[in-house]
Structure 1
């Protein structure tokens, strides 16, 4: 039995490598080597009259079927993977180019590209599946998986490009502001309408933002561009709409406000996390109670971390990506912490009192005495003058 199985494997692999269809090769090899086993059984039956080979034959057939099934699964996975790679290569680059020059026709072009490439891949996959004995359900499931994979490629690329939409908007604004309609550098003579050029550049940036704001693979109309233009390009009409009817402004929807308030107010972790912290952190909690010095260290550490968080502006550092944020923080972290510790270690300024800086109440009293003495001397001199004048008159 084992010898027959090994011969079957060799013959089956040779038939597949020769370009024979999978189902035909499996059927021919199975029939051939089962017949070979039956011939060997006839010879053995003559020598051993009481030998029953039915169980051995059934086991051989199960081994052959299991080998055929494993090879079929590997071949189907290889076939599906090859077409997924083709779809990704056919979609990734063109979609990126379409997003580079995003306009009102971008998603229409992406849908057409997706349909063409998906149909081509499905035709190729269906042709490859024709050599396998698959029912319609299994065949349809594999085709649906390939179609979903193609859509997933578009969605993944769209989200990736949406993460860089701010950079793209800046580049588009700079290009439109610095170059004219013929892609020639502008020569500023002082007669240009700066306001019109700026507004045109802003309009194009908002169009780019509206294209990247949603994934439109189902050809459903939306008013995202209109909302953005009303809310960001024409603030006067947007303010009037908000004042007259707040529900009319989707960017100020009460649903969004409620969701934002709920998330901002929900600062506590979930109950299961609180219970886990209490159970797992019991030993640490008791250690802190036994040695209150740890509380002071924890408090000082919290102050230092909080001050570093505020001075480094951690959320702002990650605005342009994780890598850029980490690099920026790594260059500023040590100097910031040293500056905080230096400020904490500096003594507080103390007001000095002494001969050069007498107390305030003593200074006031001294001034009062001096004023009194001045008045007395003035009065005395006045009296003396009157007395001398009186003597002269006599």
Structure 2
């Protein structure tokens, strides 16, 4: 950490607090610092600090006085704690204590990089019942190579304090001197010799990693320090009776870290406040002052205890310094090792980046080997010149560091491989199972390939991860991946459980569909009969169909074995019995889910069958069965003697009685029918609340296995099929239809009452007797009559009057058209070239048809030319124009051609023009009557005018053009049948 005691940073004056000078007694106000603003905040009480051991190694005689007057702990009994700080000089130990415990230890002046704390100082930690010891830093230039005191002070701290805070920077981790490992080794050895098995309570070594700004996790740093401590312990020269003692028998180790004080002041203060809970809040998870660390020394006897411990430490001669050669070798090897690790860490960082995003890098093992060889070679090149023993140890430490940092990449790539294997396993298995399901849905049957698919894909996933991990293994690296394979298997098991749940859902849905295939038509048939026990029959059919589905379900589930079952169902007990119980629990859940689906399928089918339209049809059909047909199913022919009103009322009432029957599912039979009472009538038939799981990770279970869950089910909520509003609508619509059929029956009775009078029949017999005898006794007439009678009989029995009428009308129209076309063609063929176009236009012709045009009222689109008379020509005028005479020379009527010409008398005079005109008028009128009737049969009684414009109709219904023709021919419209 860079703080007020850091050589590596030039700190602005505004960042530090100009503290008041400290008197010999250190009797000054206690301060604490808040949020890194270096503004002191006074704490409640004014207390003084005591130099417990001065720089001359003399123990103070005023401990009890301070315990009573300054710290107010003399009467605390056992209710106080002891904590000391240990670390290199100028690493911010005093700063840490002041902020953590609200003490007032003197801190270093930034303008003078020199020793601040001399000897061992003691103060109470704020309002906490804690005595805090600020120990002189190690490796200071003021003492130089005379490091006897720092080792003794360290040994004293380990012996007296319950918790020893080891303050070190992050960049010291892995170093020998910087991390005070050499000092700790000596202290551990002497500690064993001095106290041995009579030590009593353990000591907590609380490592605070300062300036933790790198990406290296705290766990990794802790593992490195712990490994170094265990190695130091294993290398101690222990007494024979203590050879089997382990570090854990005397010390517990705990780690924490703090961010940079100057670069991250707010975060630093936040972490310090959090760290303070470890020393002040007994309910906190990481509270450090546990009973097993207590020295069990009463507060009033603390001075005597501490002084006795210091005397043992001072009188021990084994605290001499190691040889200078070994120290030099340790120092230089550490420097060389640190320099070799710089490019190594750059390479490791590059590898870490390469595996980001879940990537799996090929040939990772080769890259590991390359950078390890390069790092060790750099170290061997220079460090091999120094003390061989120290060199070998430092080389092993370097390899341990290299392996430790490479292991982070090893672990990262292993996790990526596991994630990729699990994802591939789940996706591939899901696709194969889905294809298997499509085959089952296509009628091929359920193949039961779940076990083979899961086992095969699981084997592939494990082999893939092993191949990736084994390719990264380094010789001499104590790496294991058994835990990773165990994690992989666990993830695969969870994925299998998810796949099993999906497959369970498919099986249940398939069983429900198969059950409804035969049950649906059965329900429709029962609804059509609408008997009084209709709902009992339907519910019995549901129970039977569901039972058949459950049998199919058991067969399908049994083929899936118990893969994934250990996580899919929550049960207690050992693994073997748990799997058996889980299988039973799962099967019961599936059966209940199937029952829910079958019930929902029934309700859906009922809603389709008993919708408003369908229900209206059912009521209408029931009414027609009772009203229009007798008991034998023969249609009724109503007569005046029948009670139509009574039949109508009975049929309508019976039809409307179906409405409440169809409107809701009647479950009253559940209490009377034994079979239904033991199935649908049981409370746990559809749903039962799931029990709380034990032995399964609840959070993981809820997150990873949400697929198949038995839903809550309420039978009563789905009983109503039609509400009252819908029922009224259906009833009203049906009543209108029933009333219509009642009126039709009434009309039929009235029509049968209209008969020919008896006297008319008698007169017809008397008057037609002779004609009847002629027909009966004439063979020809009799045969014709018989044929006509047979034809009429057949047409009547086959109800072919409609088609016969249409055939007759079409035949008549065809014959009329043919006759008319012959007449027109005959007229045109007489003298087509002599016709004057001007005399045939719409202004002079009463009947005009356009050439090569099919009009809405025309015949067949063929070119026709009809001839009329000029308006100037009339019978009263004494004759016709030239065009009229040419057109009327040949007019075919009834298949005959009539030619009009002038007959000369003997004296050469022409026949009377009036006589000829009269003949022409008669024939023309007949032709116009034919044309008019023909157009009426075609649906158009209007003649087109020239230019395609229509003409109006006069009041009598005939066209004005027709009147003009009549006026020309001398006829009148009284001869023409009205529309």
Structure showing greater radius of gyration is: 2
Compare relative contact order (CA 8 Å, sep 6+) and give the higher one, 1 or 2. Answer: 1
The structure with the greater share of residues assigned to helix is: 1
TM range (shorter): 0.3 to 0.5
